[in-house]
Amino acid sequence: MPKQRNWQAALGDAHAMGQPHVLITILAVAGSAPRQSGQKMVVTADAVHDTIGGGQLEQLAIERARGILDGELSAQQQVEHYPLAAAAAQCCGGAMTLLFEPLCFGQPDVVLFGAGHVGQAILNLLASLPVTTTVIDSRADWLDQANAQRKVAAAAEQLAQPLSQQTLAQWVPAKAWVFVLTHDHVTDYTLLKALIKRGDLQSLGLIGSSTKWQNFARRLHRDGVSDEALSRVQCPIGAGGSQFKEPVAIAVDVVAKLLRDISESATTGDAATAVNRHGAVRAGSGMQTVSRKLLREQTPGLLR
């Protein structure tokens, strides 16, 4: 079981790793309750950090947070009111209003094969943005310098050979935005040939010139890759048109296009989310949806 930490440390670590988590805050307290308003705890998929008072109330809060993490409830900010006697069978007699804040949910996954100069520059630009980054390389010194949330040390021989789809599934999440930019053209080709079989990627980019892509495309076509699959590869990467060839300039061009592409691909919501947001089942919990009147009474100044 992961070691429990205070909520501040856990919150910082979860953000640094891009790990989905729920921050629970006691928004308001009425009558006798185990803790004061403002106390917080962090719930991840496999750990709970800090406490909002323990007992059955805390267990109900953890279960709700895990429901959010598991996708059973909407990953939206939620406020719930708990009369302690009715909801948690606690004899305090008071009531607590909790705020559930899902964080690091739905962040795009960006995967880089190659932690070289351009890869490092791309990762530095993405470090302060709401994306989850993974970098894969066989060079330990370059990997150590990479500003990524997840680092995968792959053996050079492993990257030089055709990768199994099982290995790729472990390294590259579905719906990821993937860039192949290693220091070796042979490795680039081997990786691209394996990745192009993945039909669940948001995009697949290859660093290089138009001439490099023409050579790769001819070889891939001879190796049985369809024209439709080839059309999904972006090479050169970035928006293009820049006269600057420095790694940071290439990175700026790539990240600018990546952010536009991510924005264009984002949906505005779906029916399932709407159902979860407004009609989540609370069988036997005793929880109450908080009215604006109750919030005004318990948290003056929150609603105007």
* Residue pLDDT, tens place only, 138-195: 999 999 999 998 999 999 889 888 888 889 989 998 899 999 999 999 999 999 999 9
- Can you give the pLDDT at residue 83? 77
- Mean pLDDT over all residues of the chain? 83
Tell the CATH superfamily of the 109-265 domain.
Answer: NAD(P)-binding Rossmann-like Domain (3.40.50.720)
E strands, the chain, in order: 21-30, 40-43, 48-49, 78-83, 95-103, 109-113, 132-137, 150-153, 177-180, 203-206, 233-234, 288-289
- Can you give the pLDDT at residue 304? 47
> Measured between alpha carbons, how far is 104 from 110 in angstroms, rounded to an integer?
14
Nearest to 79 by CA among 270, 298, 288: 288
Nearest to 41 by CA among 15, 5, 67, 70: 5
E strands, 104-167, in order: 109-113, 132-137, 150-153
- Can you give the pLDDT at residue 12? 81
The most confident of 79-93, 113-127, 160-174, 241-255, by mean pLDDT: 113-127
* Residue pLDDT, tens place only, 231-282: 999 999 998 878 888 999 999 999 999 999 999 887 534 333 333 333 333 3
Query: What confidence category does residue 120 fall into, taking pLDDT thresholds of 50, 70 and 90?
Result: very high
Q: Which two three-digit tokens encode residue 156?
A: 């050079």
* pTM, two decimal places: 0.67
Long-range own/partner contacts, residues 196-200 (CB < 8 A, 24 or more apart): 196/220, 196/225, 196/229, 196/230, 196/232, 196/233, 197/165, 197/229, 198/165, 198/168, 198/172, 200/174, 200/175
Residue written as token pair 């909520």: 7
Domain extent listing, the chain? 7-105+268-298, 109-265
In this predicted structure, the answer to whether residue 90 has a pLDDT above a threshold of 80 is: no
Q: Which two three-digit tokens encode residue 161?
A: 């050979």
SS3 call for 110: strand
Residue written as token pair 């059955």: 56
